[in-house]
Amino acid sequence: MVLVVRGELRLTAGKTAVQVAHAAVMLVEAGRKRNADALAAWFAQGQRKIAVVVPTIDDLERVQRLARAKGLMTEVVEDAGLTEVPPGTKTVLGIGPARAEEIDAITGNLPLL
């Protein structure tokens, strides 16, 4: 599982942590419905999660398009707007769970958060 954070939002560490957690939970819930085998393998292999950053919303959306084109599950967190960003702001893209090689082909060049 890779969690892609929008860098230009400059979220606080706590807000970033919560948004990343939202994305992970959303992916697990989606995995139960859409790809139970991949989810079970992810649980069995230690539930690996990697957080990376992209500079802009355009970059986040590009990564999402690439992931979807490869058949990977994606979820985007849209913030409720109660604290640091306006309602509906896309903060984090979650990808997976899937085999590391599949996700790394899309996100492997992104800097770690």
**pLDDT tens for residues 64-111?**
999 999 999 999 999 999 999 999 999 999 999 999 999 999 999 999
Instruction: Give the mean model confidence (pLDDT) for residues 34-55.
Output: 95
Report the pLDDT value the prediction gives residue 104, as an integer from 0 to 100: 96
Q: Give me the residue spans of the domains in the chain.
A: 2-107
Looking at the domain covering 2-107, what would its CATH class be? alpha beta
- Dist CA 71 CA 102 (whole Å): 10
Report the pLDDT value the prediction gives residue 97, as an integer from 0 to 100: 95
Report the pLDDT value the prediction gives residue 79, as an integer from 0 to 100: 96
pLDDT classification of 31: cutoffs 50, 70, 90: very high
- Dist CA 31 CA 53 (whole Å): 23
pLDDT, tens only, 8-27 = 999 999 999 999 999 999 99
